[in-house]
């Protein structure tokens, strides 16, 4: 069984920079993931469930585990020399690491330390999402917010950890998507899916239909398309919605399917954040032969305007996302 470290060294030409740097960056993510895995599995026994009484910059109630995961991942990244700073769903502003790191470390990391927060207290799969860029501020000057507001097509690596029936780390450096399953008995992530790709056809759609009333007309028309009887195209599709982007995406990646979080009444610009949810998942989707847009534009080409900006997300099997985009185009909202 090949470990993550062995795989990276074997594929060293896959990382556009130095293999050692990627190994170190992913080792930090792995370390954070192992700690979160350990404590999620006994969350009912230690005081990391429930809310902490505060809200994040987006006004969302912060779960204790959101903050716990954020602190563990931040500490793991600080312990590595390659990272100049981070941006996180749980941090109002960028966090510039101290000392020479701010002026000389090559990379910045953006993260959703715990994705699927509403699932935490009910023992349903959650995840961690990360996105890695090379700094654009010249070496010798401290990084700024500009280093984080890069379009998704400039990511050097991205991935997620899904804490489900097993804990898996899935990443890309732009040369395919690779998945590793955590063997907690030996504390190692082992290669389980090399170059994983979406099945060319899919028959599952993931969306919170509770928001139907305020969906764009194109989404309503697409959902009716999914529910029509047409055996030649495998319809009606199956509806599956876990309520955790990482878990829904992971199932669709393996089985084929589409995840949609369009604009809704409570989130007119969509709920998911461009920088640390849409972009890393879009990088993975495209590298696995899938597609990711806001219903009209390729996610990876969207120029970010602010750290926590939200974005509609249509992501998954390419043919299904193209179908949804066709309905968005043919039935524009008045």
Pick out the residues of the known binding site for Mg(2+). Answer: 89, 112, 114-115, 277
Distance separating alpha carbons of residues 41 and 48, to the nearest angstrom:
11
Distance separating alpha carbons of residues 313 and 260, to the nearest angstrom:
6
Distance separating alpha carbons of residues 94 and 316, to the nearest angstrom:
30
Our finding on whether 243 is near ligand FBP (CB under 6 A) is yes
Nearer of residues 8 and 67 to ligand FBP, judged by Cβ: 67
Residues 6+ apart with CB under 8 A from 217: 331, 332, 333, 334
Closest listed residue to residue 164, CA positions, set 240, 246, 80: 246
Which among Mg ion, ligand FBP, none contacts residue 244 (Cβ within 5 to 8 A by kind)? ligand FBP
Q: Can you give the three-state secondary structure of 109-125, one letter per residue?
A: EEEEEEECHHHHHHCCC
Nearer of residues 144 and 208 to ligand FBP, judged by Cβ: 208
Nearer of residues 23 and 117 to Mg ion, judged by Cβ: 117
Our finding on whether 325 is near Mg ion (CB under 5 A) is no
Our finding on whether 115 is near Mg ion (CB under 5 A) is yes
Our finding on whether 219 is near ligand FBP (CB under 6 A) is no
User: Interface with Mg ion by CB under 5 A: which range of 107-115, 155-163, 233-241, 323-331?
Assistant: 107-115
Residues 89, 147, 286, 294: which binds Mg ion (CB under 5 A)?
Answer: 89
| CB contact at 8 A, 142 and 103 | yes
Binding region for substrate: 115-118, 208, 241, 259-261, 271
Residues comprising the chain, all counted = 334
User: Interface with ligand FBP by CB under 6 A: which range of 3-11, 139-147, 185-193, 242-250?
Assistant: 242-250
Distance separating alpha carbons of residues 244 and 330, to the nearest angstrom:
29
Residues 112, 147, 294, 318: which binds Mg ion (CB under 5 A)?
Answer: 112
Distance separating alpha carbons of residues 317 and 197, to the nearest angstrom:
9
Our finding on whether 55 is near ligand FBP (CB under 6 A) is no
Instruction: Give all strands of the β-sheet with 290-293 in edge-to-edge order.
Output: 238-239, 204-206, 258-261, 313-317, 290-293
Our finding on whether 245 is near ligand FBP (CB under 6 A) is yes
Within residues 94-123, the interface with ligand FBP by CB under 6 A covers 112, 115-118
Our finding on whether 271 is near ligand FBP (CB under 6 A) is yes
- Hey, which residues does 56 pair with through a beta bridge? none
Which among ligand FBP, Mg ion, none contacts residue 290 (Cβ within 5 to 8 A by kind)? none
- Hey, which residues does 51 pair with through a beta bridge? 63
Please work out, in degrees rounded to the nearest 5, the angle formed at the alpha carbon of residue 23 by the alpha carbons of 18 and 27: 150
User: Interface with Mg ion by CB under 5 A: which range of 111-119, 149-157, 212-220, 224-232?
Assistant: 111-119
Our finding on whether 244 is near ligand FBP (CB under 6 A) is yes
- Give the DSSP letter of residue 305: -
Which among Mg ion, ligand FBP, none contacts residue 174 (Cβ within 5 to 8 A by kind)? none
User: Interface with Mg ion by CB under 5 A: which range of 29-37, 76-84, 110-118, 325-333?
Assistant: 110-118
Q: Can you give the three-state secondary structure of 190-234, one letter per residue?
A: EEEECCCCCCCCCCEEECCHHHHHHCCHHHHHHHHHHHCCEHHHC
Positions touching ligand FBP (CB under 6 A) are: 89, 112, 115-118, 208, 243-245, 271
- Residues forming the site for Mg ion (CB under 5 A): 89, 112, 114-115
């Amino acid at each position: 069984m090949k470990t993550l470290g062995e795989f990276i060294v074997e594929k060293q030409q896959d990382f556009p920079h130095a293999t050692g740097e990627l190994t170190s960056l992913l080792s930090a993510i792995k370390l954070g993931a192992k700690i979160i895995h350990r404590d999620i599995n006994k969350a009912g026994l230690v005081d990391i469930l429930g809310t902490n009484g505060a809200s994040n910059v987006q006004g969302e109630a912060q779960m204790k585990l959101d903050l716990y995961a954020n602190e563990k991942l931040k500490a793991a990244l600080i312990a590595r020399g390659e990272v100049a700073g981070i941006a996180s769903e749980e941090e109002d502003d960028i966090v510039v690491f101290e000392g020479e790191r701010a002026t000389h470390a090559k990379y910045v990391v953006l993260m959703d330390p715990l994705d699927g927060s509403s699932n935490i207290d009910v023992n349903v799969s959650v995840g961690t999402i990360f996105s890695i860029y090379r700094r654009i501020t010249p070496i010798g000057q401290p990084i700024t917010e500009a280093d984080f507001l890069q379009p998704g097509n400039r990511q050097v690596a991205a991935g997620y950890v899904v804490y489900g029936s097993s804990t898996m780390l899935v990443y890309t450096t732009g040369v395919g998507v690779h998945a590793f399953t955590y063997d907690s008995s030996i504390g190692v992530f082992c290669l389980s899916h090399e170059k994983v790709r979406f099945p060319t056809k899919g028959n599952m759609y993931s969306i919170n239909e509770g928001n139907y009333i305020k969906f764009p007309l194109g989404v309503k028309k697409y959902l009716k398309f999914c529910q029509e009887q047409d055996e030649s195209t495998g319809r009606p599709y199956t509806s599956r919605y876990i309520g955790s982007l990482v878990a829904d995406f992971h199932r669709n990646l393996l089985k084929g399917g589409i995840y949609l979080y369009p604009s809704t009444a409570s989130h007119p610009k969509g709920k998911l954040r461009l920088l640390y949810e849409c972009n890393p998942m879009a990088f993975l989707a495209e590298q696995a032969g899938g597609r990711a847009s806001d219903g009209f534009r390729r996610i990876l080409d969207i120029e970010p305007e602010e750290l926590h900006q939200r974005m509609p997300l249509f992501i998954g099997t390419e043919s299904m996302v193209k179908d949804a985009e066709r309905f968005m185009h043919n039935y524009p909202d008045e």
